[in-house]
Amino acid sequence: MLILGVDPSLTATGWGVIRMEGSRLGHIANGTIKVPAKLAMPVRLSMLFADVSAIIRAHEPDDAAMEEVFTNKNPQSTLKLGQARGAVMAALGAGGLDVAEYAPRLIKKAVAGTGTAEKRQVQAMVERLLPGARPDSLDASDALAVAIAHAGMAGRNRMMEGL
């Protein structure tokens, strides 16, 4: 089973693909989509859509996961983040994927064992849980973390079904 994690933003969208075989995880690929900020918004969003679509075609993931957004930022930032997420989610939908969303605390807990883990701690655990993975950026590392959290939940759900 292949899982695509995505950490969308307008400036740098991290992504990562991992493999889950039983309880074993493996790293497949990761990267960061950067779109020049000087381009017009529709162009930036269409490039984001195209790049996510290309990643789906290249890796054919079975599941996709993202961090849930609880936002207290200013409304204009929230709107822009929403637009980036909209372009990414439209690409996931066009690629036949639904998306599972996980709260930041839950992702930290799944990866580092505690919901209050710091960013560096999470990053270090991502590299430990996925031998050979060299996250392209902090955003790519976050994307791999979401994928790991999803693998944990998916694994648990399967066990529950087996009971």
Contact footprint for its own copies (CB under 8 A): 40-50, 64, 69, 71-73, 75-76, 78-94, 97-99
The whole-angstrom separation of Cα 151 and Cα 50 is 26
**CB 139 to its own copies: min, Å:** 17
142 tagged catalytic = no
**CB 56 to its own copies: min, Å:** 11
139 tagged catalytic = yes
67 tagged catalytic = yes
The whole-angstrom separation of Cα 16 and Cα 142 is 9
61 versus 135: smaller Cβ distance to its own copies: 61
| DSSP states along 2-23 | EEEEEE--SSEEEEEEEEEETT
Q: What are the residues facing 101 on neighbouring strands?
A: 66
| Closest-CA residue to 151 (of 118, 121, 129) | 129
Are the C-beta atoms of 64 and 92 separated by less than 8 Å?
yes
**CB 130 to its own copies: min, Å:** 25
47 versus 138: smaller Cβ distance to its own copies: 47
7 annotated to bind ligand:
yes
Active-site residue, from 63, 67, 136, 142: 67
Where in the sequence numbering do the catalytic residues fall?
Answer: 7, 67, 139
